[in-house]
Amino acid sequence: MKIIALTAVLTLGCTLASAQQYKVLYEFGGSSNNDGASSEAPLIFDRSGNLYGTTAYGGDPSCTGNIPGCGTVFELSPGSDGTWAETVLYTFSGPDGASPDAGLIFDIAGAWRTAPTGKIRQAN
């Protein structure tokens, strides 16, 4: 009896998981919008439900490579209407790092940190 009940719970759980829907929270404008481009690293949440991440390109248009811009650190904040607003928190310029492909972490004080191309950055 116990084996049959466990199988039913696992089957139900798998059915619910396969019915998930995905929604685009924000579309980056890319290098022409200076808000960032190519966000590939994992995102992190803060206690208020905001998302934080990095983009490998975009941001400062004077920092050039294959794609203009050296990347950004951004925050996505949920609105009460279901939309998300992006805020660029930091724009890399080259000497301070470029094209971060690593995600962010929060330190014990709640400041974000990342290590783009060997540089360590801290939130102000």
pLDDT at 13: 46
pLDDT value of position 4: 40
Whether the CB-CB separation of 60 and 93 falls below 8 Å is answered with yes
Verdict on whether the full-model pTM lies above 0.75: no
* pLDDT tens track, the chain, 124 positions: 444 433 334 444 445 556 788 888 888 886 667 888 888 888 888 888 999 988 888 888 787 665 678 888 899 999 999 999 999 988 888 777 778 877 887 777 766 666 545 344 444 4
pLDDT at 101 (0 to 100): 77
Residue 66: the pLDDT is: 58
In whole angstroms, what is the distance from residue 86 CA to residue 74 CA? Answer: 7
CB 87 within 8 A of CB 77: yes
DSSP-based three-state secondary structure for 123: coil
